[in-house]
């Protein structure tokens, strides 16, 4: 009774539901009307669906699920909650419902969906259905979601379907194999043979599907599929279907590098296709195959380049783009191909299509050599001025990258390069600040001879107040400031540098950069004072009865010996004088270095324009000190530890020496008294400290430092966190970005300083300071300087629009004609300066890491099937060792593959020494077996004798193989990877 | 393999999206958005290829075609040929055109289920299975016949069972 009531209640309600249920179409219409807004409408609809999907009526349920699928697919609503309902609808006997269920499953299920366990039987049933569309649904579902369990349980069904007569089903079964193999490698043993048999199918659809599967498989581990080469070769020759041919070409592109004899055999048919085909897709695939895998076949490459040329001059931008891509693939090995087409390549540099522009830029950069780097860079920089910001930065980035490659191996004239860096910094769209910063400092550290020019570039950057407003330049300015402090001895006018470092607009800089400025100002100050003292000493030293300290005497002597006059100059009132000509190569040659740390190159073109005048007068020094005090005074209230610390240093130093200097220097030219010597002693000490030369540090330097005994590095430092909780980590360290060797040094030391400084005023003092700041905010510097004033300054420089892009392209063409066509070593006017290079760690090693084969299991199983080895344990046993070995020496594809192969087979062979067939094997694989015994040396061995040995060995057993194939293709006894007959 | 098929309109509204490397649902939305971001910034009459490493990870390319108000997008890796993918978009559009007689965006909006049927005949688990629009049409017609057949059967038993229940 009760049951009857319920059922009648439900069924009547289901009729109501069915009648009034919104269909998918209603839902879409409602969504489009947008009466209550999309999200509100959707959440209402979802509520409805939640109710409807629980209905017992299959129609209501499936419609609800269909709506849900729609919302999940196009409105991205979660539908994982409905997983169980999906399973219910899938199991419906009606096709339309089943379809909705399967669609929802493939949309929302993933490998971790719990209800997957429930669908195995349903899938099995549908895979065995007589209705081919039901089978399709199940296969489709399996191709999306197959877990190892599903794959294992359904392998027999897939195996059956692989030879079904229904084309529609069979091609899907073939495709699904890919997924099944990946999840359940043991399926290979069951299905692989049937899969291979499908390669003989005459049906183009089947063939396309199976070749597609092998293309995917081969891309993961090509070596295992070498034995199938004859089948692929036959398809390459016979097939008329472009889709199939493209896939076969892709397979050969993977196989050919592994087996030279195969390449030799295949290259001709590929060229035939290339000559004959009218389809651009096939033509391009042939080209790509040739340029990527057959680049040592001269005639094939020539043919491909002719065809590339056709693509390049085509009107279709797609073909242009692909042509350029093909060229850049071939560029490293056959640069002539690029040179032949350089006019076209350069022409497309100004194409409207960003893809094409980018590709041609890459090709232009590929053409850069020592002899033309200057000209090409010049033209490209001009080009970048006229480009949109994105492309401009692409250009700058590729110039920076190309020029710095392998420790600037391309650069001969470093003076030119640093001035180019300066110029690039001023390009309005330039966003390569970090890279330019790194290179400026790196070059300074590595190349001694370029330092004067570097200083000039830095000075020009620092002195331009407009640049301070551009946040992209701040990192470059930091580098410039560092250079100006570090190499101040090359400055013609250090006072000018000081003024630049202390200019009011430095308040626009971030604090970390500002700290660099202040520290550089410190260095400049020390330099000036030191020079002044030396100079006054040299004047007084003419008096024989002078009290001169031993040290300064020594210095003096050295100076005299070197014959360098202590240059003098008039008062520095004209620091920023208009007449200052930065092009003038003259710089001051003071050579005041007493420690011999720096050897200043006297051979440079120093004209000593100011040698007769004295820069360092008493007034100028006093002015300088006052200037520093005035500019840095306000910063003693800075909240940034770095800035505060450095300001304090410099001000304390001034406090220390100022009194004496002002007193003693009043009696200028008179005998120096011992009291004055105290100040000059300090100055000398400081100067000594700063004149220690900084060099590049190897990346691996840290590793070479022995760990002191008793130092526990892995101690748990959790307690520290509670103590240091209120200490902020500074936002960014000085130059720690990008340039690791430098960063280590400076970063660490500055960190040390900071912590020392911070721990002091952290608690009470800072609270007092902030208090004070609140009261007298007026007298403090603004905190967020950039944000307040940073934006309203004009861009650094107006772009120079002198010549049209057309001129540029013509220039570039001319240039490449001049310097590339000849391609001779130019005789440089300048000899390349010494560039400090460090050990291996310094060189940029470009290692093409190959993706590690993730499914060793699949390829292992494939080999087993193809080579007929019957030991099931082989793959699983050797697998871990395979992985480790491939990780260890992932250098070259070839080596790894072969070693893996050998290890695989080795494991299976060793236990059955008595087996005659395996002994035969041993005998056959003469050259290779040795490789197996010493896996470490496989690479060398192969290169030495592998070629010959292999050829011989396979020669010999090719006949064996043929016989085996003839009588029992399935049960071939374990063999080494034999390369099939046709190759010989 | 093919990693995703997308159709979106010129405002960036997705009209069809299928991912063959199962992506979580919120990630799908993000991917479609970033693809649209790239496409809408491209001018007309430029090449149809986009390098998509920044969106879909290494070794991924996009080919797209712009028809009226719709972008058709395929995402794929190096096992596919770019020009063949472009042809494939053509095949897909041709099939849609045959199916709906001068296909327009609205057809795609209202025929969610049918479009997936077409898609599933052309693509299968990231592989291209059929490149002839005639073959696709044949299969699609049979499937819809089967669907209507199964639905027409349903009406009778359901009402009967409904009545019997009372």
Rounded alpha-carbon distances, angstroms, from residue A466 to A126, A417, A581: 74, 23, 19
- The per-residue pLDDT for B32 is 94
| A208/B131 CB distance under 8 A | yes
In 3D space, the residue among A465, A475, A549 whose CA is nearest the CA of residue A506 turns out to be: A465
- The per-residue pLDDT for A588 is 39
Whether A568 contacts A612, CB under 8 Å? yes
In 3D space, the residue among A240, A323, A254, A242 whose CA is nearest the CA of residue A289 turns out to be: A254
Residue B164: closest C-alpha in chain A:
A8
- The per-residue pLDDT for A215 is 94
Q: Looking at the partner chain, which of B45, B78, B87 has a beta carbon nearest the beta carbon of A281?
A: B87
Say yes or no: B47 contacts chain A, CB-CB below 8 A. yes
Say yes or no: A969 contacts chain B, CB-CB below 8 A. no
* Joined tokens for residue B50: 């986009």
Residue of higher predicted confidence among A508 and B153: A508
**Gap from A96 CA to chain B (nearest CA, Å):** 5
3-state secondary structure of B71: strand
Task: Report the Cα A969 to chain-centroid distance in Å.
Answer: 48
Which helix (DSSP H) or strand (DSSP E) does residue A191 occupy? helix A187-197
Interface test with B, best of A4, A281, A325 (most B CBs within 10 A): A281
| A281/B84 CB distance under 8 A | yes
Q: Looking at the partner chain, which of A110, A143, A247 has a beta carbon nearest the beta carbon of B125?
A: A143
Contacts of A215 in chain B (CB under 8 A): 79
- Side by side, which strands form the sheet with B61-67? B14-19, B2-9, B70-76, B61-67, B49-51
Q: How far apart are the first and last CA of chain B?
A: 55
Rounded alpha-carbon distances, angstroms, from residue A1 to A9, A813, B46, B166: 12, 96, 74, 12
In whole angstroms, give the CA distance from residue A462 to residue A481.
Answer: 7
| DSSP assigned state of A223 | G
- The per-residue pLDDT for A701 is 76
Residue A131: closest C-alpha in chain B:
B146
Whether A559 contacts A686, CB under 8 Å? no
In whole angstroms, give the CA distance from residue B129 to residue B131.
Answer: 7
Q: Is A639 exposed, middle or buried (0-12, 13-18, 19+ CB in 10 A)?
A: middle
b/e sequence B126-139, b meaning 16+ C-beta within 10 Å: bbbbbbebebbbeb
Count CB-CB contacts under 10 A for residue A563.
8
- The per-residue pLDDT for A425 is 86
Whether B6 contacts B39, CB under 8 Å? no
Angle of the A389-408 helix axis to the A414-425 helix axis, nearest 10 = 150
Question: If contacts are CB pairs under 8 Å, which of residues 92-151 in chain B contact chain A?
Answer: 109-110, 112-113, 116, 120, 124-131, 135, 139, 142-143, 146-151
- The per-residue pLDDT for B147 is 87
Annotate A905-924 with DSSP letters as a single string: HHHHHGGGSS-HHHHHHHHH
Residues 6 or more apart in contact with residue A216 via CB below 8 angstroms: A178, B1, B79, B127
Residue B31: closest C-alpha in chain A:
A76
Across chain A, which distance is largest between two alpha carbons, in Å?
133
| Chain segment A408-454, per-residue pLDDT in tens | 888 888 888 888 888 888 888 888 888 888 888 888 888 888 888 88
What are B18's strand-pairing partners?
A: B5
| A285/B81 CB distance under 8 A | yes
Say yes or no: B82 contacts chain A, CB-CB below 8 A. yes
Say yes or no: B16 contacts chain A, CB-CB below 8 A. yes
b/e sequence A4-16, b meaning 16+ C-beta within 10 Å: eeeeeebbeebbe
Residue B61 — φ and ψ, nearest 5°? -130, 160
- The per-residue pLDDT for A870 is 44
Q: Which regions of chain A are under pLDDT 50? A: 1-11, 542-613, 668-672, 730-762, 784-805, 819-828, 841-854, 870-984
3-state secondary structure of B142: helix
- The per-residue pLDDT for B43 is 86
ipTM: 0.91
* Joined tokens for residue A899: 């070693």
- The per-residue pLDDT for A540 is 58
- The HSE-up count of residue B105 (CA atoms within 13 Å, CB side) is 17
Per DSSP, which regions of B10-138 are E strands?
14-19, 49-51, 61-67, 70-76, 123-124, 127-128
Whether A367 contacts A339, CB under 8 Å? yes
**Gap from B102 CA to chain A (nearest CA, Å):** 20
Whether A149 contacts A123, CB under 8 Å? no
In whole angstroms, give the CA distance from residue A125 to residue A119.
Answer: 10
Mean per-residue pLDDT, B70-90? 94
In 3D space, the residue among B6, B119, B10 whose CA is nearest the CA of residue B66 turns out to be: B10
In whole angstroms, give the CA distance from residue A785 to residue A790.
Answer: 7
| Chain segment B102-120, per-residue pLDDT in tens | 889 999 999 999 999 999 9
Residues 6 or more apart in contact with residue A170 via CB below 8 angstroms: A161, A162, A163, A164, A198, A206, A209
Angle of the A926-933 helix axis to the A947-967 helix axis, nearest 10 = 110
- The per-residue pLDDT for A246 is 94
Which helix (DSSP H) or strand (DSSP E) does residue A382 occupy? helix A373-386
């Amino acid at each position: 009774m009760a049951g009857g009531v319920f059922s009648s209640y439900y069924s009547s309600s289901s009729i109501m539901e069915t009648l009034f249920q919104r269909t998918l179409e209603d839902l879409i219409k409602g969504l489009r009307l947008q009466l209550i807004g999309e999200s509100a409408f959707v959440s209402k609809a979802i509520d409805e669906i939640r109710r409807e999907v629980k209905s017992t009526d299959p129609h209501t349920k499936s419609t609800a699920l269909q709506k849900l699928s729609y919302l999940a697919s196009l409105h991205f609503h979660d539908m994982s909650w409905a997983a169980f309902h999906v399973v219910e609808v899938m199991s419906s006997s009606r096709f339309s419902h089943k379809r909705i269920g399967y669609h929802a499953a493939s949309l929302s299920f993933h490998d971790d969906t719990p209800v997957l366990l429930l669908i195995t039987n349903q899938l099995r049933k549908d895979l065995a259905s007589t209705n081919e569309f039901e089978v399709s649904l199940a296969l489709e579902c399996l191709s999306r979601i197959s877990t190892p369990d599903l794959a294992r349980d359904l392998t027999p069904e897939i195996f059956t379907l692989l030879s079904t007569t229904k084309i529609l089903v069979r091609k899907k079964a073939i495709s699904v194999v890919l997924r099944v193999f990946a999840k359940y490698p043991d399926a290979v043993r069951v299905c692989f043979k049937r899969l291979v048999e499908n390669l003989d199918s005459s049906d183009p659809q089947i063939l396309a599907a199976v070749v597609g599967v092998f293309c995917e498989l081969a891309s993961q581990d090509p070596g295992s599929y070498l034995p199938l080469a004859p089948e692929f070769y036959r398809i390459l020759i016979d097939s008329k279907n472009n889709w199939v041919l493209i896939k076969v070409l892709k397979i050969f592109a993977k196989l050919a590098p592994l087996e030279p004899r195969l390449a030799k055999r295949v290259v001709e048919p590929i060229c035939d296709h290339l000559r004959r085909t009218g389809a651009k897709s096939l033509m391009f695939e042939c080209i790509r195959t040739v340029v990527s895998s057959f680049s040592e076949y001269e005639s094939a490459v020539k043919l491909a380049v002719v065809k590339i040329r056709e693509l390049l001059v085509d009107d279709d931008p797609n073909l242009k783009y692909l042509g350029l891509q093909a060229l850049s693939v071939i560029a490293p090995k056959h640069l002539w191909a690029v040179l032949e087409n350089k006019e076209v390549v350069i022409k497309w540099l100004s194409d409207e299509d960003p893809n094409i522009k980018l590709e041609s830029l890459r090709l232009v950069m590929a053409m850069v050599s020592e002899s033309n780097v200057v000209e090409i860079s010049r033209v490209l920089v001009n080009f970048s001025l006229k480009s949109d910001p994105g492309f401009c930065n692409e250009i700058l980035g590729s110039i920076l990258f190309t020029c710095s490659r392998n420790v600037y191996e391309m650069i001969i004239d470093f003076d030119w390069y640093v001035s180019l860096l300066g110029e690039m910094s001023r390009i309005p769209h330039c966003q390569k600040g970090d890279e330019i910063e790194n290179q400026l400092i790196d070059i300074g550290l590595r190349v001694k001879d370029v330092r004067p020019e570097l200083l000039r570039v830095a000075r020009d950057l620092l002195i331009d107040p407009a640049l301070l407003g551009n946040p992209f330049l701040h990192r470059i300015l930091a580098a410039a400031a560092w250079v100006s402090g570090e190499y101040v001895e090359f400055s013609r006018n250090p006072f000018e540098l000081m003024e630049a470092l202390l200019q009011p607009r430095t308040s626009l800089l971030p604090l970390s950069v500002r700290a660099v400025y202040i520290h550089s100002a410190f260095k400049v100050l020390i330099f000036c004072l030191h020079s002044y003292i030396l100079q006054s000493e040299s004047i007084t030293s003419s008096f024989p009865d002078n009290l001169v300290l031993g040290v300064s005497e020594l210095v003096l002597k050295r100076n005299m010996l070197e014959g360098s006059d202590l240059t003098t100059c008039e008062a520095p009132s004209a620091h920023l004088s208009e007449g200052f000509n930065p092009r003038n190569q003259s710089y001051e040659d003071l050579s005041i270095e007493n420690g011999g740390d720096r050897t200043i190159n006297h051979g440079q073109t120093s004209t000593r324009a100011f040698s007769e005048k004295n820069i360092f007068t008493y007034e100028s020094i006093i002015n300088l000190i006052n200037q520093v005090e005035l500019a840095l005074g306000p910063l003693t209230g800075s909240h940034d530890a770095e800035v505060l610390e450095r300001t304090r240093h410099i001000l304390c130093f001034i406090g220390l020496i100022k009194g004496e200097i002002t007193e003693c220097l009043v009696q200028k030219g008179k005998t120096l008294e011992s009291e004055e010597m105290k100040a000059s002693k300090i100055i000398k000490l400081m100067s000594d400290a700063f004149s220690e030369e900084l060099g590049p540090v190897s990346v691996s330097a840290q590793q070479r430092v022995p760990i002191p005994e008793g130092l526990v590095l892995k101690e748990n430092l959790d307690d520290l966190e509670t103590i240091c909780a209120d200490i902020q980590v500074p936002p960014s360290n000085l130059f720690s970005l990008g340039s690791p060797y430098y960063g280590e040094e400076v970063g660490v030391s500055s960190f040390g300083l900071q912590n020392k400084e911070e721990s002091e005023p952290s608690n009470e003092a800072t609270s007092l300071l902030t208090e004070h700041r609140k009261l007298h905010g007026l007298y403090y510097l603004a905190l967020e300087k950039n944000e307040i004033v940073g934006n309203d300054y004009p861009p650094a420089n107006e772009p120079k629009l002198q010549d049209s892009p057309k001129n540029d392209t013509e220039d570039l063409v001319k240039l490449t004609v001049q310097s590339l066509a000849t391609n001779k070593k130019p005789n440089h006017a300048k000899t390349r300066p010494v560039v400090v290079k460090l050990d291996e760690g310094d060189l940029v090693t470009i290692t093409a890491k190959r993706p590690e084969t993730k499914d060793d299991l699949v390829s292992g199983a494939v080999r087993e099937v193809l080579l007929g080895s019957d030991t099931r344990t082989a793959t699983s046993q050797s697998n871990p060792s395979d992985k480790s070995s491939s990780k260890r020496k992932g250098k070259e594809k070839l080596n790894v593959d072969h070693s893996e192969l050998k290890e695989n087979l080795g494991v299976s062979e060793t236990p059955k020494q008595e087996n005659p067939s395996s002994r035969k094997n041993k005998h056959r694989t003469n050259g290779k077996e040795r490789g197996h015994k010493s896996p470490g040396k496989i690479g060398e061995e192969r290169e030495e004798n592998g070629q010959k040995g292999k050829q011989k060995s396979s020669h010999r057993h090719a006949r064996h193989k043929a016989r085996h194939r003839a009588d029992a293709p399935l049960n071939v006894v374990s063999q080494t990877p034999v390369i099939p007959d046709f190759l010989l | 393999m093919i990693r995703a098929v997308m159709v979106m309109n010129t405002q960036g509204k997705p009209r069809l999206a299928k991912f063959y490397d199962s992506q979580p649902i919120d990630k799908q939305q993000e991917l479609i958005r970033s693809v649209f971001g790239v496409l809408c910034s491209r001018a007309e009459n430029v090449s149809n290829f986009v390098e998509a490493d920044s969106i879909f990870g290494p070794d991924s390319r996009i080919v797209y075609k712009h028809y009226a108000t719709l972008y058709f997008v395929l995402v794929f890796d190096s096992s596919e040929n770019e020009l063949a993918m472009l042809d494939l978009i053509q095949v897909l559009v041709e099939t849609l055109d045959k199916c709906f007689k001068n296909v327009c965006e609205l057809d795609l909006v209202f025929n969610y289920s049918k479009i997936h049927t077409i898609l599933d005949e052309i693509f299968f688990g990231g592989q291209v299975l059929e490149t002839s629009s005639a073959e696709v049409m044949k299969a699609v017609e049979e499937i819809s016949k089967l669907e209507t057949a199964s639905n027409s059967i349903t009406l009778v038993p359901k009402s009967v069972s409904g009545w019997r229940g009372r």
